[in-house]
Amino acid sequence: MQISNVISGLADPTSWGKKSETAINAGANAVKSIEPQVQASPALQKASVDILRNYDVTNITPEEFSQMVQKLHNAGAISEKDFQELSAVRGDLENAGVEPDESINLMEFYSDKLSKAQKNLGSTLDDAARQQRLGPDLRRLDWMQKFAMIQANPDAVGLDMAA
């Protein structure tokens, strides 16, 4: 998974007020940086898009998110490693007190979580330590942006991936 485009935008404290710009930049590259498994097979690509069409990460319950991730894994669209990482989202939501049937915007959830963490860390850590602390949440936000981009533009996936 390529996350440098998201990390660079979120690691810079001056960009934190520009959430929409960061989301747009990350979203524009989402289709190009989707996992290699999806790029390899048109049938797998279609199955992934079909699964993602049924879910909206900007309005999803933790239970629905778990179902989506399980379906993507069963279809072979995400690796075991990615499945484990995405499964951790459910733990983050439980730790935040989100009920299994409560709708949530996962992009906002991770953007807010990262903003709070950035403020709490202040200037006490160097960039490498900051990236290490924020890395898991940055990767999860990157996944949410990819999912949202594909959900918003499912027909563009095949065009961009074929190019």
Question: pLDDT tens across 60-114, in order?
Answer: 999 999 999 999 999 999 999 999 999 999 999 999 999 999 999 999 999 999 8
SS3 assignment, position 158 = helix
104: left (phi over 0), alpha (psi -120 to 50) or beta: beta
pLDDT at 148 over 50: yes
φ and ψ at residue 148, rounded to 5 degrees: -65, -40
Burial of 36-51, coded b for 16+ CB within 10 Å and e otherwise, reads ebbbeeeebbebbbeb
The pLDDT tens digits for 38-51 are 444 777 888 888 99
Q: pTM for the whole thing?
A: 0.69
Where do the domains of the chain lie? 15-162
Give the separation between CA 24 and CA 95, rounded to whole angstroms: 28
Give the separation between CA 67 and CA 113, rounded to whole angstroms: 23
